[in-house]
Structure 1
Amino acid sequence: MTERDLRVVLAEDSVILRDGMVELLTARGCRVVATAGTPDELLAAVEHHRPDVAVVDVRMPPTHTDEGIRAAVTIRATAPRVGVLVFSQHVETAWASRLLAAGATGVGYLLKERVARTSEFMDAMRRVAAGGTALDPEVVDRLVHGGRAGRVDTLTAREREVLELMAQGHSNRSVAARLVVSERAVEKHVAAVFTKFDLPASNEDNRRVKAVLAYLSETGG
């Protein structure tokens, strides 16, 4: 799926930022079918338009705490085919865990600074709209290094690197390119992760999702 195929609902209460994001998305060929400034407006827009992806600010009116993430969780439950990409000013591992509780497909969590990096933002939108995962590297790093002991601690340093990149939504080929190793080497590390997480042979994508969820459940607080 390319940007030009994407139908987007955008939820951001700051008019300046919202207008800027609409301009950015439109310039890249996306069709912003609706914008929203409140959680209720967001939920109504998703229900009406059923977009490919909803881009949602974590903090929204009236309290500017977790209204956006709660609306995102609702979308995940009521419209599972709609990708959800949330963005926040800060790393909030508890919010990331709540968002991923229903599964690690069609979901993303980015820091707002990443939104300004157009290529990264658009890549994350494409992955989420296609049913993939896009977690900000800083979110993943906080989850990895701030969690409690568990199966993650049985991984080697390289296996953990591979799993971190899997959690960010990278394919084996992309992981290999980033770590400058062969794709076969990555496959071996992924297989080791599956073994240590006690994930028997089944659908490859399903096992990747389960591995990411196990990783987040043990490192996310």
Structure 2
Amino acid sequence: MPKILLVDDEASVVDFLQQELTFEDYEVITAMDGQAAYATYQEQKDDLDLVLLDWMLPKMDGLEVLRRIRKHDNIPVIMMTARDYVSDKVAGLDGGADDYITKPFDTEELLARVRVILRHAEQQHDTQEVYKYADLELNTKSRQVKRQHQLIQLTQREYELLLTLIKNAPTTFTRDELLDQVWGIDFEGQPNIVDVYIRYLRHKIDTEDQRKLIHTVRGVGYCLRDDVHA
């Protein structure tokens, strides 16, 4: 039974979502402020599978909770918030969120996003391999990514995107193919989310002092290729 940490400061929201998630056979633990959320995460992190995290929280906001979590591991995190500004979504994704849903949302949409993220996490957990390409290494058992032996911290979605690219390197994927592989065929968001996450990966993988591995194939999509002149 997957275990979810649900964090929101509205008791009615917590009660409702806890009931819905429990009905779907998830084990749910809750917190109603940022400090309690982070403390609960620290106590339960070895058993947790997903965090549903509200942005506007007392004592410590959700973005700060997310940043602290990301210092330790890549557990999937879905941000829930009434803030619908693009800059806020970018801040949440930059902070390490795997997904972002704006209140008020349809419960079925949230449950679908939870299923997609947990399904991908389970598939990766079952596969225990080490993929190497150039000086980049991805270990699916430890879920560690290294370049030139330096550990790189990735979010769940960044990890899934890189895994798809490195497993099939130097194959070029279209945006639609990456959406299906990484976000799932039932994803209803904007296709440009792929471009956003490619940019995140480049920022972490292709630093200024390293040769470029993540390439754009104009008019087609993206690939992982060891070609400094591409």
Question: Aligning the two structures, in what range does the TM-score lie when normalised by the shorter sequence?
Answer: 0.5 to 0.7
Partner of 1:86: 79
RMSD: 3.5
Question: Under a length normalisation based on structure 2, what TM-score does the superposition of the two structures give?
Answer: 0.53
Query: Are residues 1:18 and 2:14 paired?
Result: yes
Equivalent positions of 1:154-173 (< 5 A) are 162=176, 166=179, 170-171=183-184
Deviation string 1:91-142 (CA, Å, 9 cap, x unpaired) is 1333332333366xx711111232x332x21121123333464xxxxxxxxx
Name which structure has the greater RCO, CA cutoff 8 Å, separation 6+. 1
Alpha-carbon distance in 2 for matches of 1:177, 1:79: 27
3-state SS, counterpart of residue 113 of structure 1: coil
Contact map agreement 2:66 2:95 (CA 8 A) in 1: no
Q: What amino acid is the match of 2:52? A: V
Alpha-carbon distance in 2 for matches of 1:176, 1:74: 28
**Which residue of 16, 31, 34 maps to 1:36?**
31
Contact map agreement 1:9 1:54 (CA 8 A) in 2: yes
Alpha-carbon distance in 1 for matches of 2:89, 2:187: 26
Mark the CA change 1:123 to 1:23 in structure 2 (over 3 Å): closer, same or farther: same
Partner of 2:207: none
The runs of at least 4 consecutive aligned structure 1 residues that moved more than 4 Å come to 175-178
User: Where in structure 2 are there 5+ consecutive unaligned residues?
Assistant: 122-155, 158-173, 190-214
Query: Are residues 1:76 and 2:70 paired?
Result: yes
Alpha-carbon distance in 2 for matches of 1:42, 1:169: 28
The structure whose residues are more often helix, as a share, is 1
Alpha-carbon distance in 1 for matches of 2:187, 2:89: 26
Contact map agreement 1:25 1:31 (CA 8 A) in 2: yes
Query: Are residues 1:125 and 2:118 paired?
Result: no
Identity value in percent: 17
Query: Are residues 1:98 and 2:120 paired?
Result: no
Contact map agreement 2:32 2:57 (CA 8 A) in 1: yes
Alpha-carbon distance in 2 for matches of 1:9, 1:90: 21
Instruction: Give the drift of 1:7.
Output: 0.4
Instruction: Give the drift of 1:61.
Output: 1.0
Contact map agreement 2:7 2:54 (CA 8 A) in 1: yes
Q: How many residues align?
A: 146
Deviation string 1:15-43 (CA, Å, 9 cap, x unpaired) is 111111111111111001x2111111101
Alpha-carbon distance in 2 for matches of 1:67, 1:84: 14
3-state SS, counterpart of residue 5 of structure 2: strand
Mark the CA change 1:20 to 1:168 in structure 2 (over 3 Å): closer, same or farther: farther
Mark the CA change 1:198 to 1:16 in structure 2 (over 3 Å): closer, same or farther: closer
User: Where in structure 1 are there 5+ consecutive unaligned residues?
Assistant: 134-158, 179-192, 203-221
Q: What amino acid is the match of 2:102? A: L
Q: What amino acid is the match of 2:39? A: A
Query: Are residues 1:54 and 2:51 paired?
Result: yes
Partner of 2:217: 195
Instruction: Give the drift of 1:175.
Output: 7.6
The structure whose residues are more often strand, as a share, is 2
